[in-house]
Every structure is written in C-alpha cells, then in structure tokens.
C-alpha cells in the first residue's frame, strides 16, 4: 500500500517559495492562510539551510489524536485529511502539530477561528473527488487525477519530493550517494569556507594533469 510522504532535501531547498505559491495557485488559498511555508535556519549565516514545511501526513497524527470532534481521517494512501463540516475550529490540532500545519481563517465572534485548513497532499476532502464542493472547501484533488501535490511537482530544484514513501526514500538515497558526503540531509555538518571543498574534487592532484 502506498504511503504518501513529503521529503524536503535541505541541501537543495533554496527558499524560492515556489511551493508556497504553487499551493496558493492550485487551491486558491486566501491571503493569510498558508498551507505550506519555507523556513530557514541560520538565516544569513554559514549553515543556512531552508526547508519547505506543510502537513507531513504523520502515521500517528497528533492532530487526529487531539481533535475533540474526531474530524480527521487517513486515506488508504496514508494521507491525513479532515472534514471541514465536522471541524469546529478549536485549534487543538494546531497546538499538537509539530509542523504548524493547521491554519485557521478568522471567522466569527471575537476573531474566533473558522474551520481548520491544511495541506491535503492535494487529496481533497470527503466530498466526491473533483467536485465543486470539494474544490471550494479543500482545493483541487490532484491525487484523484493521478497527479502528485503541485508544490512538489513545481519545486524549482526538486528539493521537495512527494509520493510513495519508499520511492521518495530511494530518490533521496540515490542523491545522497551521488553527493558522496554521507547523509547530511539537514546539513548541520557541511563544511563551510574553512572546511574546504569535498574530497572527491581531486584537489590533491597537480592541476595541469587534469587538463584534457
């Protein structure tokens, strides 16, 4: 059974925010609600790395666990979705989520929250696939069209991968092998400036010998 996952390759993420606008574009998400965001650590300093974050469709999803009305469900593809008709906008999922995925449009008295909105892995919601009501509430349902989330499909450097967890892992592992620098996905240990370039650059040899 496919288990849909996102993986952001921080060695490649360049904080271009393409994923963010792709999401807005595909789902017509209003100003103020961001199903996806790019966060950067060590901004402007050596070790700066970015990664795109949205709902990670957890296997044991904390949002689903704490939801007082139990509005979440996990699809056969492992996508964590929710039913906006049931959601009461309490915000508990937002407190529980490690990634800050749940978003709340402001609605009602005292600026209270409307029904929660979050990344659907472009998998829509409980309404019939591709229906107008589904689009209105959850955005497009690309999975039902045989497509993957637009954010990943449009990622400028293919840093953001989406798809079956195994396949995504394979692609990522292959990349890491090519890079030949171990599993520095996060990049804590990337040598910077003083650390020099990678071993495999052949810096040891005499330059002229590398001439063609």
Q: Which residues in the 110-149 window bind other proteins by CB under 8 A?
A: 110-113, 126-131, 135, 140-141, 143-148
CA distances for 126 relative to 2, 144, 156, 164, 166, angstroms: 19, 12, 31, 21, 26
Q: Which two tokens stand for residue 171?
A: 């692609």
105 part of the interface to other proteins, by CB under 8 A: no
Tell me, what DSSP letter sits at residue 125? -
Stated as kind and residue range, the H or E segment containing 24 is: helix 18-27
79 part of the interface to other proteins, by CB under 8 A: no
C-alpha–C-alpha distance, residues 114 and 102, integer Å: 12
CA distances for 164 relative to 36, 68, 97, 176, 194, angstroms: 19, 30, 22, 18, 39
Rounded to the nearest whole angstrom, what is the least distance from the CB of residue 33 to other proteins in the complex?
8
Rounded to the nearest whole angstrom, what is the least distance from the CB of residue 89 to other proteins in the complex?
7
Stated as kind and residue range, the H or E segment containing 17 is: none
Rounded to the nearest whole angstrom, what is the least distance from the CB of residue 173 to other proteins in the complex?
8
How many residues bind other proteins, per CB under 8 A? 144
Rounded to the nearest whole angstrom, what is the least distance from the CB of residue 104 to other proteins in the complex?
8
Q: Which one of 114, 121, 156, 182 is in contact with other proteins (CB under 8 A)? A: 156
Kindly write out the interface string for residues 47-76 of this chain, putting x where it contacts other proteins by CB under 8 A and - elsewhere: -xxxx-x--x-xxx-x-xxxxxxxxxxxxx
Rounded to the nearest whole angstrom, what is the least distance from the CB of residue 118 to other proteins in the complex?
13
Q: Which one of 89, 119, 120, 122 is in contact with other proteins (CB under 8 A)? A: 89
Contact 68, 90 (CB under 8 A): yes
Segment 10 to 49, residues that bind other proteins, using CB under 8 A: 10-12, 14-22, 24-26, 31-32, 34, 37-46, 48-49
If DSSP codes are grouped into helix, strand and coil, which group holds residue 68? coil
């Amino acid at each position: 059974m496919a288990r849909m996952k996102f993986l952001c390759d921080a060695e490649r993420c360049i904080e271009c925010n393409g994923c963010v606008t792709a999401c807005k574009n595909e789902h017509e998400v209003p100003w103020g609600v961001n199903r996806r965001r790019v966060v950067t650590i060590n901004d402007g300093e050596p070790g700066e790395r970015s990664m795109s974050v949205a709902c990670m469709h957890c296997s044991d999803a904390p949002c689903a666990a704490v939801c007082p009305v139990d509005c979440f469900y996990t699809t056969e593809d492992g996508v964590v979705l929710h039913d906006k008709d049931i959601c009461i906008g309490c915000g508990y999922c937002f407190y529980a989520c490690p990634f800050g995925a749940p978003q709340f449009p402001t609605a009602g008295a005292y600026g209270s929250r409307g029904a929660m909105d979050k990344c659907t892995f472009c998998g829509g919601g409980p309404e019939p696939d591709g229906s107008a009501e589904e689009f209105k509430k959850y955005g497009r349902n690309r999975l039902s069209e045989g497509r993957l989330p637009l954010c990943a499909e449009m990622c400028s450097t293919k840093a953001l991968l989406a798809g079956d967890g195994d396949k995504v892992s394979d692609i990522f592992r292959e990349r890491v092998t090519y890079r030949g620098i171990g599993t520095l996905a996060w990049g804590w240990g990337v040598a910077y400036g003083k650390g020099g370039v990678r071993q495999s650059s052949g810096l040891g040899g005499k330059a002229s010998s590398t001439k063609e």
